[in-house]
Amino acid sequence: MEINGTEILDTFAEAFPVWISRVIITAATREWAYTAATVATGFATSKIGCPCEAGIEREFTGQETPDGRPGVSILICAEKKNMKANVAARISQCVLPAPTASAFDGLPGAPSRFFTRMHYFGDRYEERCIVGGRNCWRIPVMEGDYIGEDRFGTVKGIAGGNFLVMGSDQRSALAAAEAAAAVISGTDGIINSFAGGIVASGSKVGCKNYRFPMPASTNHVFCPTLKKTITGSQVPDNVGSVYEIVINGIDEAAVRNAMKTGIRAAAESGRASHIGASNFDGKLGQYRLYLHELFR
């Protein structure tokens, strides 16, 4: 199968279930909302070494937010038992201290819910209040008042949807990956948690070559510099660089749509020679997202 001369390999991405919470961060200006959201999603690229996976989802207008101010939504992905701690930590350490920022629940209809206990920061000076029909807390801070919700929802989503962008050299492959990441950015219901939405060092489960345990190691079968020295290389001929686009989403439909949109953008950039995907023969997750099926 080809799109604009780019070969779409007959393979699948392997994804796994994850729990997701959405936090809507508002502020007096769009810039401060983005600043708080950016800080709140720091050190959250991969559960391999980070406490959670998180990223900016999209921008919200004042008509969409509880307090009528500009907003940015973020998705936080983690095991259900760890969700409360991750959401509470990022709101308390990244949103609460940010000038004019507030945090609201982005999944008010989710049946599974938890309290962050943010109001404890008020040291008994806090007060209950209603904002946009929501039960919130008004916490006195040096700036004036922090106003936000204390209760958040979480739903079961999907993590690890992906595709591989391949090119003859690093410059070509990166340009195609950038085109894919750009068109996916801002899509409702998904995030790309890695820097710029692009992964330069894709990984595989475990590590075979050292005595001490490692949860993950370089995905050697997709390393172009190893294709002539290892058995089982999956790097096509004339490919000199490979980048991975990893997608987490609220549901399978959102992940599939983002994969399809991103693959088409990479192919139509004219810089990608091949598009593939990363999988581990069913050892990582239960979802198999076949690339060719995305376009049927």
Instruction: Enumerate the domain spans of the chain.
Output: 2-15+157-295, 19-155
- pLDDT the model gives residue 34: 98
pLDDT tens, residue by residue, 171-190: 999 999 999 999 999 999 99
pLDDT of residue 167: 98
pLDDT given for residue 74 in this prediction: 98
pLDDT at position 222: 97
Instruction: Give residue 39's pLDDT.
Output: 98
HSE (side-chain half, CA atoms, 13 Å) at 268? 10
- Residue 238 Rama label (left phi>0; alpha psi -120 to 50; beta): left
pLDDT of residue 1: 96
Q: Taking every pair of C-alpha atoms in the chain, what is the biggest distance, in angstroms?
A: 67
Q: What is the pLDDT of residue 210?
A: 78
Q: Do domains 2-15+157-295 and 19-155 have the same CATH topology?
A: yes
Q: For the chain, which residues score pLDDT lower than 70?
A: none
Six token digits for residue 8: 């779409």
Q: What is the pLDDT of residue 124?
A: 98
Enter the CATH code of domain 19-155. Answer: 3.30.70.520
- Residue of 157, 9, 186 whose CA lies nearest to 76: 157
pTM value? 0.95
Give the DSSP per-residue string, 68-82: SS-EEEEEEEE-HHH
Tokens (6 digits) for 181: 């990441």
Domain 2-15+157-295 listed as CATH 3.30.70.520 = yes
